[in-house]
Amino acid sequence: MEDKHQWPLYEVFVRARGGLDHKHVGSLHASDARMAIDHARDLYTRRQEGVSIWVVPSNAIVASDPADTDSLFEPARDKIYRHPTFYEIPDEVKTL
């Protein structure tokens, strides 16, 4: 299909319930933002997956370059002291 006949792509984020973050769940095509919300509702929340939806035009997302992976992420690998694994987590804390 030619590009002019294809609706723009949107990324969809759904909040599963109050207190949680919106999570990326997928993408869809829509002609405008309101249609994107409707489609997201129909595609991604039909089994009670969420209570709130964000849609973002995919071309508004700036992504890191896979070629930069080494310089961006490699340096963190040997700094394990940044992980909170030295703490004992109390049993009552469920969502840490």
Binding site for another protein (CB under 8 A): 7, 28-32, 34-35, 38-39, 41-43, 46
Helices within 1-96 (DSSP H only) = 33-44, 69-73
Q: How far is the CB of 24 from another protein (least distance, A)?
A: 17
CA atoms of 25 and 19, how far apart (whole Å): 17
Q: How far is the CB of 61 from another protein (least distance, A)?
A: 19
E strands, the chain, are 9-15, 22-29, 52-57
Q: How far is the CB of 43 from another protein (least distance, A)?
A: 6
Question: In terms of CB distance, is 6 or 85 closer to another protein?
Answer: 6
